[in-house]
């Protein structure tokens, strides 16, 4: 379990530290204070430099550029704009991001250093005498750290973008023994969730997912996948791919018919079962959830995290989300503590709240967000 995190040169942070971390860690703070950036940094650290993780982080924020190929006829393709990961939104040779964490077993770190490289640029029409490839100066990311990533450096396009086959950078062949899943505020895609469900279905984890949905709708009796990854029709929306059977109804209904809260609980419940021994990161964990079920949500997250040895990092803007965690703080055991950490713009370290401070704040409705 990670006990502290240090972030250097990532997005708005020159240097930033999180210390005294526990089994479940709730990050609070105002807009643009860097809460989501902290989650991203931990995700990149756990991914050990995998370019697919870089793509995921940049793509979810819309940090992409569209470039034209040198083919005939020219075509357009998207690139992830890497410069936005670096402090000041600029990347030049020598720019550097260093992410590190201390845990119960060993120190881990990953660093992305921008360096100058030569990139092949195609000119002319393929198959003709005019066609050639020339070497042009470009940037590359040299990836170092411990554990060593499978890809030691990542070549960027002349425009400074990250791209791969079919517009998606390849995933490293290395599979970490400590899985991590990053749930953004818009949740996971249908493809991602259906893929995870394949590891949940017909296992004990399926009952946990069903119990999570019943917090919101006690009439739900069963859940099933409605689509395969080949069926693009059902994957066109932001929610879908699953159906549920409700008590008293003969026919199942699409999960999207039950609202945002059910979908959000489905995503979190499935994801945490697939993070055994690793890290779950949830941006705006209360999205779509009514305050009346937040205590049950936290109880589920905490108990499952203990059982599966998952460490949870989450963010919120919600007063109710913070204070619904307070009763659980009182019952948390010493080996699996819960922390609330305030992130303030311009500060070099998070401000941790002791458990008794969270309880007192809840009792007297003192603002800690």
In a shared domain, residues 114 and 135: yes
Could you give the number of structural domains in the chain? 2
Q: Give all strands (DSSP E) within 9-131, no chain letters.
A: 15-18, 24-28, 64-68, 76-81, 96-103, 107-123
Spatial separation of the C-alpha atoms in residues 116 and 182, rounded to whole Å: 31
Q: Under a CB-based contact definition with an 8 Å cutoff, are residues 200 and 273 in contact? A: yes
pLDDT (tens, 9 = 90+) of the chain, 369 residues, equals 999 999 999 999 999 999 999 999 999 988 889 999 999 999 999 998 888 899 999 988 989 887 766 555 667 778 899 999 999 999 999 999 999 999 765 678 999 999 987 665 444 455 555 545 555 567 889 898 876 666 778 888 877 888 754 344 444 444 456 899 999 887 787 888 888 988 998 898 999 999 999 988 999 999 998 764 444 444 445 667 899 999 999 899 988 888 888 989 999 999 999 999 999 999 999 988 888 889 999 999 999 999 999 999 999 988 788 888 888 877 888 889 899 999 998 899 998 886 666 666 555 454 555
Within 10 angstroms of residue 92's Cβ, the number of other Cβ atoms is 11
Q: Domain range holding 229?
A: 186-274
**Statement to judge: residues 54 and 163 lie in one domain:** yes
Whether residue 156 is found in the same domain as residue 193: no
Q: Is residue 97 domain-shared with residue 197, that is, in the same domain?
A: no
Residue 319 placed within a domain = no
Output the DSSP codes for 109-152.
Answer: EEEEEEEEEEEEEEES-TTSTT-EEEEEEEEEEEEEEESPPS-S
Residue 357 lies in a domain: no
Q: Is 147 contained in some domain?
A: yes
Q: Are residues 209 and 168 in the same domain?
A: no
CB 196 within 8 A of CB 252: no
Residue ending a domain, choose from 244, 274, 304? 274
Residue spans of beta strands (DSSP E) within the chain: 2-8, 15-18, 24-28, 64-68, 76-81, 96-103, 107-123, 132-146, 153-155, 161-162, 180-183, 220-225, 242-246, 253-254, 279-282, 311-315, 338-342, 351-353
In a domain, 70, yes or no: yes
Distance CA 12, CA 74 (A): 36
Q: In the listed set 109, 142, 175, which residue is the last one of a domain according to the structure?
A: 175
Q: What is the pTM of this model?
A: 0.86
Does 194 map to a domain? Answer: yes
């Amino acid at each position: 379990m990670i006990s502290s995190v240090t972030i250097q040169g990532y997005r708005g942070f020159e240097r930033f530290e999180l210390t005294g971390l526990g089994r479940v860690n709730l990050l609070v703070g105002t807009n643009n204070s860097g809460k989501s950036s902290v989650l991203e940094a931990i995700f990149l650290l756990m991914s050990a430099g995998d370019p697919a993780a870089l793509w995921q982080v940049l793509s979810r924020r819309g940090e992409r550029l569209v470039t034209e190929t040198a083919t005939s006829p020219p075509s357009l393709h998207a690139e992830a704009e890497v410069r936005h990961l670096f402090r000041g939104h600029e990347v030049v040779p020598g720019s550097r991001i260093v992410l590190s964490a201390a845990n119960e077993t060993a120190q881990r770190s990953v660093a992305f250093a921008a360096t100058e490289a030569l990139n092949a640029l195609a000119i002319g029409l393929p198959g003709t005498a005019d066609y050639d490839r020339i070497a042009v100066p470009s940037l590359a990311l040299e990836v170092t750290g411990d554990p060593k990533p499978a890809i030691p450096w990542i070549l960027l396009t002349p425009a400074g973008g990250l791209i791969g086959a079919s517009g998606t950078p390849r995933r490293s062949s290395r599979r970490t023994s400590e899985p991590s899943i990053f749930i953004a505020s818009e949740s996971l895609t249908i493809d991602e969730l259906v893929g995870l469900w394949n590891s949940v279905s017909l296992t004990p984890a399926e009952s946990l997912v069903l119990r999570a949905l019943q917090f919101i709708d006690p009439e739900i009796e069963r859940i099933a996948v409605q689509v395969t990854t080949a069926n693009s029709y059902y994957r066109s929306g932001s929610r879908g791919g699953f159906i549920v059977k409700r008590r008293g109804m003969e026919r199942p209904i699409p999960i999207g018919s039950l609202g945002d809260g059910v979908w959000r609980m489905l995503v979190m419940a499935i994801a945490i079962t697939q993070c055994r021994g690793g890290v779950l990161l949830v941006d705006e964990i209360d999205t779509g959830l009514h305050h009346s079920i937040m205590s049950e949500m936290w109880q589920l997250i905490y108990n499952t995290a203990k059982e599966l040895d998952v460490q949870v990092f989450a963010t919120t803007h919600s007063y109710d989300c913070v204070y619904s965690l307070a009763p659980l703080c009182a019952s948390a055991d010493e080996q699996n503590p819960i922390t609330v950490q305030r992130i303030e713009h311009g500060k070099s370290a998070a401000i941790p709240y002791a458990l008794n401070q969270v309880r007192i704040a809840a009792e007297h409705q003192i603002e800690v967000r």
